[in-house]
Amino acid sequence: MLKFQETAKHVAAARLHPACSGAVVARRYSFVRKLGSGSFGNVYLVSDRRAKQGEELKVLKEISVGGLKPDETVEANLEAELLSRLEHPAILKFHTSFLEQDSFCIVTEYCEGGDLDSKIQEYKESGKIFPQRQILDWFIQLLLGVSYMHERRILHRDLKAKNIFMKNNLLKIGDFGVSCLLLGSCDLATTFTGTPYYMSPEALKHQGYNTKSDIWSLGCVLYEMCCLRHAFTGHSFLSVVLKIVEGATPALPAPYPSQLNSLLCSMLNKNPALRPAAADILQMPYIEEQLKVDLAVQDKALGWQKGAAPISVQRKVHLQTLQELSEVQKMTPRERMRLRKVNAADEKAKKLKQLTEEKYQEKIKRRQELRTQSCQQLSPGALQAVQHQPSEDIQSQGSLCAVNSSLPSEIPEDPETAEEYYKAEFDSCSEGSEEEEEDVEASQSLSKAEQQV
């Protein structure tokens, strides 16, 4: 039996099975309804009791641990680990994961727009097509998400329309159930997983695959958005495989520009080494021009009102990030590790500097408060007493001069004597003495002010 056909056979029934909506799991998530079935279990729409208003709806994916093989259990844990480390607008947001009875549960954000495959089928049945501007917007969003994953050495390995979700007209990549974390820049995975319609020639021939295999799958998704059908079709599995491995590269119909068709052909090149990386595609003149056009249209439509400026800044930051990303990808693993360490050290130094500045400002503020309190506590009677005691002040000043004259003018040569000398010096510079001197100065200044009045 073929791998992609027997996937459903291994799906074990999860033990949660909420009998009705309202059942609660983990004393937090209330079941609303069942959304469908994934690679290893069921998917439910749940309501989070602890979430903020308007953010209650989430998706809970349950995986029956008892029915999984050891390697499949590892894959479920790996999916949760990968999602927890990915934070990007084009990637499904991970909330938490936990074990409930014999089920491993993963909670992610809810995309009310459904998946891209359903949207494609909806347009196909109604006889409509996606506007070219919309296709390019979605394609660039997916490119940004794939580039983000690949820069972190993560392969998706099952990128298809069903695993791309829609929320507020934005696409989000999800279902990392067969993702692979690369251990080297040129690592090749060899497991036969994924949907055949989106699988690359090297994966079908068991030659392994790397990031360029995700680029092939993304090219298939691009063709499907443009033509509302699979790039490679057939009546049987073997016919699909033959078209992918030996067939001609499909071309886009006439309404689409030649630049987009050339890009698609490069992504569907039989040789993975000749396929462009996601970061390289984002730097192509045609894609960069589309980004600029999209930015200009948004700026004109919003008239630089509230919200327009942040969008513009975000787009510019994307372009700068892509340029920096291309430079990083040219580095060796050792150079990347050194760069990460330098960046981490710079970030730590920046935080320490900020903390020091905050502490310094707090200390200044505290001293000002102490001075204000000492001034407010002085009564008129105390001021008069201070005014009538000039002789005592002179005597105290004389005693201070005597003390100062009694101190040695030079540092003693004897170690023990020098240690006592330093100890006395440090004790005289304590914070308490400074505060006392400040209080005396404040009282003296107030007495002078009273005399002038």
DSSP 153: T
Nearest to 157 by CA among 207, 198, 205: 198
SS3 of residue 213 by DSSP: helix
Q: Classify the C-alpha dihedral 41-43-48-49 as positive or negative.
A: negative
SS3 of residue 345 by DSSP: helix
Q: How far is CA 96 from CA 59, 99, 109, in A?
A: 11, 11, 10
User: Residue 64: how many CA atoms within 13 Å on its side-chain side?
Assistant: 17
Q: How far is CA 70 from CA 4, 15, 64, 67, 289, in A?
A: 19, 18, 12, 10, 48
Residues 28 and 46: their CA atoms lie apart, in Å, by 9
From 137, 158, 175, 214, the catalytic residue: 158
User: With contact defined as beta carbons under 8 Å apart, do 21 and 33 qualify?
Assistant: yes
* Concatenated DSSP letters of 394-440: HHHHHHHHHHHHHS-SS--SSHHHHHHHHHHHHHHT-HHHHHHHHHH
Nearest to 116 by CA among 198, 11, 196: 198
**Is 158 noted as a catalytic residue in this protein?**
yes
Matching residue, tokens 């330098």: 342
User: With contact defined as beta carbons under 8 Å apart, do 68 and 40 qualify?
Assistant: yes
Element (H, E) at 88: none
Residues 67 and 63: their CA atoms lie apart, in Å, by 9
170 dihedral zone (left: phi>0; alpha: psi -120 to 50; beta): beta
Q: Which residues pair with 170 in a beta bridge?
A: 167
User: With contact defined as beta carbons under 8 Å apart, do 215 and 275 qualify?
Assistant: yes
Annotated catalytic residues are 158
